[in-house]
């Protein structure tokens, strides 16, 4: 039983690693211009995505896609994304490690 659980865990991790790599490739060409190569926004009016929760990122992208969250640019960008691509992009940005320092 333990072995089965370990195997399941391992395969889940492998899928996740594939998602991260696919998300990175997509983000480098489609998102980095505004959200930065490292997920820290390079455009002042765009939010940082590095280290954000995957569930939150997926939800927002789906909301832009279906118009529940309205934004001219993100609406156009999210429209053609498939559920799989959204999961990959969310996996990539949420895999980034961020550290926070309290204000002195």
Count of residues that interact with ligand HEC, criterion CB under 6 A: 19
Query: What whole-number distance in Å separates Cα of residue 59 and Cα of residue 82?
Result: 13
Nearer to ligand HEC, 11 or 42 (CB): 42
Q: Does 73 contact ligand HEC by CB under 6 A?
A: yes
Q: How large is the C-alpha radius of gyration of the chain?
A: 16
CB of 40 to ligand HEC, least distance (A): 13
The answer to whether 34 and 48 have CB atoms below 8 angstroms apart is: no
Does 30 interact with ligand HEC (rule: CB under 6 A)? yes
Q: Closer to ligand HEC at the Cβ: 16 or 75? A: 75
**What per-residue string of b and e applies to 65-88 under the rule 16 or more CB within 10 Å gives b?**
beeeeeeeebeebbeebeeebbbb
32-71: contacts with ligand HEC (CB under 6 A)? 33-35, 43, 45-47, 49, 57, 60-61, 71
**Inter-CA distances, 56 with 53, 63, 94, Å:** 5, 10, 10
State the residues that interact with ligand HEC by CB under 6 A. 27, 30-31, 33-35, 43, 45-47, 49, 57, 60-61, 71, 73-74, 77, 89
């Amino acid at each position: 039983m333990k072995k089965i659980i370990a195997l399941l865990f391992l395969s889940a991790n492998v899928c996740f690693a594939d998602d991260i790599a696919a998300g990175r490739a997509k983000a480098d060409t489609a998102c980095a211009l505004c959200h930065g190569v490292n997920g820290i926004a390079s455009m002042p009016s765009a939010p940082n995505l590095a280290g954000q929760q995957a569930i939150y990122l997926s939800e927002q992208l789906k909301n832009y896609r279906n118009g529940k969250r309205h934004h001219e640019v993100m609406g156009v960008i999210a429209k053609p994304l498939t559920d799989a691509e959204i999961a990959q992009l969310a996996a990539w940005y949420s895999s980034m490690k961020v550290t926070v320092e309290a204000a002195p």
